[in-house]
Structure 1
Amino acid sequence: MYIRNTLALLASLSLAILTTAAPAPLAVNATLDNELVLATTEVDRIALITDPTNFVFDFAHAEVKQEAGGRIVASNTKNFPALIGHGIAMAVGFIEPCGINLPHIHNRATEILFVVSGEFETGFFIENGGKV
């Protein structure tokens, strides 16, 4: 169920990339952030987000972080309220030929990577001497 919901959310967000609408205003404040984190159920969490635009993240009009070899557009709990309480964030990366996604960590988190076009080599390290 969790995986299906996550994949549905990813698919919905992918469609947002194609939109040309102006970015939606975020109607989130510190009090609402806390209420979303403390919500007991997903139904309670969704009921707290009264502005439907907070369920859409427009990757086409979001802040872009440009680096040598590519760029990334990221959603997180600060700019996409629907993620609050789920322990996830999402990003769309554009890696140019011979570009590299620098080694980085996600403490106790998982990264799912989809390659849309081209080839990509990847690797990972396991903590505490775990089998690789």
Structure 2
Amino acid sequence: ENYNLSWLGSWQFIIGLSLFVSGYVINKISDEKLRGLRSGGKKGYVIPQGWLFRYVSSPHYFGEIVEWLGWAVMTWSLSGLAFFVFTFANLFPRAISAHKWYRLNFQDYPAGRKAVIPFLI
């Protein structure tokens, strides 16, 4: 691809950048929430609460998937698409597995919470 300054005003760049930044924020906040579960030397497992954990078991994976989707759109390239596809292929099964683990290990796990994509899966 030949990217020049006009690319910065294209719909692909603007939508892709918006997705990328949104995914980054989702990922960052979700990771901070997860780290907070072990702060102060706490031990054992707990159900993550708040933020996007109200809707999905793995919002950090959702955020990273959205980041790379944004990158794919922003670069509008085969390599950008490859990063998205490989990230999705890696993180989606991990999110499904984590969701099953939570449901198996916590009887009070929220029944309506999805695995990785809010309101869908």
Give the TM-score normalised by structure 2: 0.25
Q: Name the structure, 1 or 2, with higher relative contact order (CA <8 Å, separation 6+).
A: 2
Query: Larger % of strand: which?
Result: 1
TM-score when normalising by structure 1: 0.23
